[in-house]
Amino acid sequence: MLRLFQLELPLFRRAPPPAEEHRHIQLGSRIVDYKLLRSRRRTLGMTIDQRGLRVGAPPRTSLREVEHFLHHNAEWVLKKLDEWHGHGKSRHLAIREGALVPVLGEECVVRVEQGANRVRWVGHTLILQARPDADLRQLARRALRSRALEVFTERTAHYAAKLHRPMPRLALSNAQTRWGSCSEKTGIRLSWRLIHSPLWLIDYVVVHELAHLVEMNHSKRFWAVVERLYPEYRAARDELKRLAATCPQI
């Protein structure tokens, strides 16, 4: 009986969750982030909710078929995404146990523990080790600003090297709609709130500000520098305009 039980046991194991891929696609003038989940379903399908666009696909569906499906339904996708974005209204996020906070375009879950008002990241989890009277919002902002400075520094150094320029001074701002600024004297300032955005949008803002070190204007020469470093800048620029209206408020 023992041998038989050992042979049958795997039949009752829970199936692993479907694989999930984070991708993006250009629909019209917009670049849209989506999550692709491959499972045992037989047809392509999609849902749009507070988490964004999620596409379900059979295991052997090619990426070309998925993209054709999205292009075919582009008008509906963009309309529903705008509806979920609240028609331009900002999202006020309450920081509490289990809250979901977008970081680099992906959802991170907040965990609250007893502690001495410290913060740490474990994968996609933000852990707030808080005293009973702690301001969880301020703790979360501290963690996000720290992550922002780390990511922005790495991306600025990366593109400064491509521009054959030394790493400029970099500081964070608290701006809600002005993503970046540049000064020959003080260097570059980037809004820490950009940390909510996918990396490809952060890269555009970094490139935009670095280009001002070459051309302190918005002339054709300036945009030529931007395009050399970031050819898809037009789509990113359009997406940032929408992000300004929907960026989470913490």
Burial class (CB in 10 A: 0-12, 13-18, 19+), 230: buried
Q: Average pLDDT in the 85-100 region?
A: 72
In whole angstroms, how far apart are CA 211 and each of 103, 215, 223, 232? Answer: 26, 6, 8, 15
The correct CATH number of 136-249 out of 3.65.10.10, 3.30.420.40, 3.30.2010.10, 3.40.640.10 is 3.30.2010.10
Identify the pLDDT of residue 86. 56
> What is the residue extent of each domain of the chain?
11-84, 136-249
Residue 96 or residue 190, greater confidence: 190
Tokens of 177: 């709609």
pLDDT over 70 at 89, yes or no:
no
pLDDT digits 0-9 by tens, 136-151:
999 999 999 999 999 9
10 Å Cβ neighbour count for 43? 9
User: pLDDT tier at 22 (50, 70, 90 boundaries)?
Assistant: confident
5 has pLDDT over 90: no
Query: pLDDT of 67-87, one tens digit each?
Result: 999 999 998 898 888 776 654
CA gap 166, 160 in Å, rounded = 6
pLDDT digits (tens, 9 = 90+) for 187-217: 999 999 999 999 999 999 999 999 999 998 8
Amino acid at 190: L
- Return the closest-CA partner of residue 192 out of 146, 154, 138: 146
Please report, for residues 41, 59, 157, 203, the alpha-carbon distance to residue 226 in angstroms, rounded to integers and kept in the order given: 43, 39, 16, 11
Q: What is the DSSP string of 158-186?
A: HHHHHTT-PPPPEEEE--SS--EEEETTT
What residues contact residue 50 under an 8 Å CB cut-off, 6+ apart?
Answer: 84
Residue 2 pLDDT exceeds 60: no
Nearest to 250 by CA among 202, 192, 211, 205: 192
Residues β-bridged to residue 55 = 36, 46
